[in-house]
A and B are shown apart, each in its own frame.
Chain A
Amino acid sequence: MRELLLCPPNYYGIEYEINPWMSRARGAEAALAQKQWEQLHATLLKLDCKVHLIAPQPGLPDMVFTANAGLTVGRTFIPSNFRHKERAGEQPFFADWMEKRSYKVSWLPENLYFEGEGDALFGGDVLFCGYKFRSDIQSHRAVADMLGCLVISVELVDPRFYHLDTCFCPLPDGGAFWFPLAFDEYGQRAIREHVPDLIDVLPDEAMHFSCNAVVIERDIVLPEGAPQLVTKLQDRRYRCHELPMSEFIKAGGACKCLTMFMPQRELV
């Protein structure tokens, strides 16, 4: 059974703009956001996941995006060092919560930006890490030192896809689906080199945050709006659960951003 961490969207809202999706003028509809989050929660429970909830905090609207809390491998939790001061306040709440549940908290040096599972996803035994907009490449080396695994650092070049989990989603059979134009040429080559079966997501579907999916074995929970991707995944015998995510996409997040694996991977 997979254990997941979610945070109810009680204080969620667009209160600042730290990526191209966010617009305070447009805002997010609270009731609808609550409903969409509950649908996600229910879907994950239905998939036999153990879902933990962390208490939301006033003034930290993006705490709902728990994927950015850190990276959990085995019983070790590596807390994020957020690039934006608007989110930095989330860090102590997540670290405390994990520590109280007996996870060993391994801190990165303060000067290295790292945004957790948002920029660090395992594909097989390789940890793919995105850098430039949020995480620093220097943090990848520190994570590699801590975990002792192969880390493939890939540069993100499209500010709309500012975290790795917005444009890349590894699958349990060794493949992945991704939006290649979100990476520079070297990043694309490095991913092609290490991932045998890649499903390219079309630009229109990528804009629906369809790469921002939670994969639980053969089940994939992803935002609605990517019929072609869903067909390709179904061809590979994955079950797709398409959810409305409009209110979270307004903040540049969707299913995966709202979920952190505990752990993402057992010991490497």
Chain B
Amino acid sequence: MRELIAGRHSKAALQMAKDLHKRVTTADSEALLVDAYRARIEDLTRLRLTIEAKSLLAIMRERFPAAVSGWADLEQELCVLDGRLDGIVGPLMNPDLTAEERERIESFIRQHVNDLPALAAVSSLPPEHSLRLAASALASAFQAVTAGNLDDELLALPQVSRRSPLAPWKALVRAVACYYRHEDAECRKWLLAIPEDAVPARLIPAMTAMLGTKTEVRFTAAETALIEAAGDHGAALRSSVATIEAAFAARKRQPILDGVRAIAAASIGLEPSLRERLRQHIAVRCVAQHIERRAVDSALGGPPRLNAYFYRLLARSIELMGYAESSAEAVLVWEEFRRAAIRDKWFEAGGLEDGVLSLHMAEMVARLPADVVEEMEDSETFLSNSGKGRRNSGLPSAGQLFDRACRADASAESFDAWLCWARKQQKGRAADEVAERWREARRGEIQPLLHLMESAEKRNALKKSLNYLEEAERLDGLNPAVRRGKARLLLSSAVRHLRQGQTHLIPAEIEQLLTVSEVRPGDVAALAAALHWCCAAIDKNHSAREDWETKLVRSIGTVAAHLVASALARAAQWRSQLSVPQLDARHTPRTELVAGAVRACLLGDWVGLSVPLLFGWTGELIEALNQPAMSVDASGLLALGEAALNDSARELAYSVSSAGMSLGTANARFLYLRARAFPAWMEIRREGCLAAARELARRERDTELTGRILDRLSGRLRLSAQAEALSAEVVDAIVAEELKLRKYPTVPRDDQPRYAAQLTSAAASRCDCPKCRAKCGEAIDDWDDADEEDSWDDDQDQFDDPALQEMPTVLAEILEALPPADRERVLEAIEAGEDPIQVLDRIDQAVRKMAPGSASRKFRWKPLKAADSKPRKQAIPAPDQPPTQGRLF
């Protein structure tokens, strides 16, 4: 029974004590019964069953009055529970109260009184009594701080002295205030100031837990209710979020998954929509870290909701990875987003948003390398691993997406992007069909008409082309593009008649040509004079020929006249029969040489006439360009450079780029020109110039040039490398060094430009492979994909093939031996990133087509793989094949 009493099993102990006392009735059994009754009354008091406790106490008072006389504390406690404090504090007004008795009463107040308003209202003390004043002030302050009023004045509590039995309450009020102010250290300090036996100490365990301290204490129902009502739920979640962010930054798989589990547990009480959004973001961040989806779903306690918000987030994340493969996968996810967005009523199918999204997807697909598109059919994607058994429905084609975009949003921007893509496809008349769609959808725009005009002209459908031109002139006759198109069309027609020897038809075309508003004064007159000169030369009318030659020279100068006449004679395929106006380059001032060449190239560029620049005085022209005092603007130099590239005069183009960069006004375009002028083996400098040109063009917001550079890079570099920008220091280093390197590289050498190291370092910083990340000082753990390294080694093995090692040494020699047209095709293919095996196969075919010579004997390329030895369907044209009409444009 003593053990039962000690173990707070008072009910059973009392029943047993009663039975025992009935049977034996001894002094010991009575003492045991009294103790059992006391324990029972204490337990009932603790359970706030005051009526039952008082009943038992009354029974005890009747049956064992001697024993009950010492139970004053129990009686007082019951008074406290009833709110009857007058009897407890009343003796404090007795002037004869002993110090011990006062101490006992005050201790009782400190240890048992929890009803401050009742204490403030006791009638046995006068209103001005310090205990009543302190209780009243504390009751108000406690009410205020728990309701949100944290004023310092309220917390001063001057009514409560340090010696007051209510002083622990003052510490409690301040602790609560500090808790709400997030002053956790101060809060802990005030909690420590509360004596353990004081009533306010009952809040210490709960408040300690609310401050975030882990404890093993089992909380009562009231404590649990307090923690839930006033506790800081966000603390654990915020802590978990901070932990997982650190794990994401460190790219550690296991800590990330642990963090996901912690967040899933800590966010249980969170608002459902906010919790779901958090889960979706975490899932997407894990996808970006290449953590398998099953593990993430398991850690999250289930997959996140796959709605439009999730798919948009996921698509953006995968897209921002920047690799070609990820871009392809992002397109699939964007497609899934589209379906979900239409289902969730974010937008309607065929609406503006649908058009904008489809255009974005189309442009992504258009930038994808062909091999990536093929790989997507077999590879596992996020969607195919979604756990819903969903199969990858295949990558939509760019054409389908452009079509959908333009149906949903028939804007000029959408059609322009579609037409630009269709032009590059070179599939029949796909671009013409797009232009026709554009023309039908937006009648007032001239861009589709200009395309159709040019396309018809290329097919020798001159009548149709003129019809389009007339329509374009009706819409906007003053538009420079329309004027230029008219001049090009008329010149093309005239050139065709010259080629056919129908010189009698030329004057009418010249008459029309003279009506075109020219950009530079004298251009149209010079063209007319050149055409007249050509007609007179073909007709062998010497006097007329001399007259027109004089007029031509007078209008644009000797150098330009020589070049324009040469260009016209070549286009009309009369070059060998016609003697063009003579030029004594050696005795012509250098500045005049440059100015004349620029003038001719600008004129040729305007009317689509290819100006020949590989002639006997190219050396003099290069020498003139290298002279410091030059009065040619950037646009003229660019026209000269482009013409030089078109005519395979790479050294001249290189010199033009040097002269242009020294102007310092259009470095992006001159770097791009230089990149294309390099010989094929000058890999590092070409990469450097392209990267710097792209970065400068991006900074200058030159989207047209950026697009051209990206188009050129798309076959060779991954999208991540395209998306990342070079730092300003690297760009400046490239420009400065290229500016100094004025001599065209003619002999393959091992030395690299000084900026090569910076360029490699910049590329490594963008690369996500373990080796490059380690080079950048990033910690790499075992989790990083070991297979990736193996695949790299495999790639390296391919390059170690003896046949490929042989290639660079012989390539320059072989290229030099090829006809210019074939050489250009091969160089372009290499620059565009074509498979080296295919390129060499092509070289082999080109060499075989040549007349037996040194090159064909020196080099025979043996394809490495049988599959690659299939004959190519598209044969390389014969070296002396005359240019077709369309090549003018």
Partners in one complex: no
Listed in ascending order, the chain B residues whose CB lies under 8 Å from chain A are none
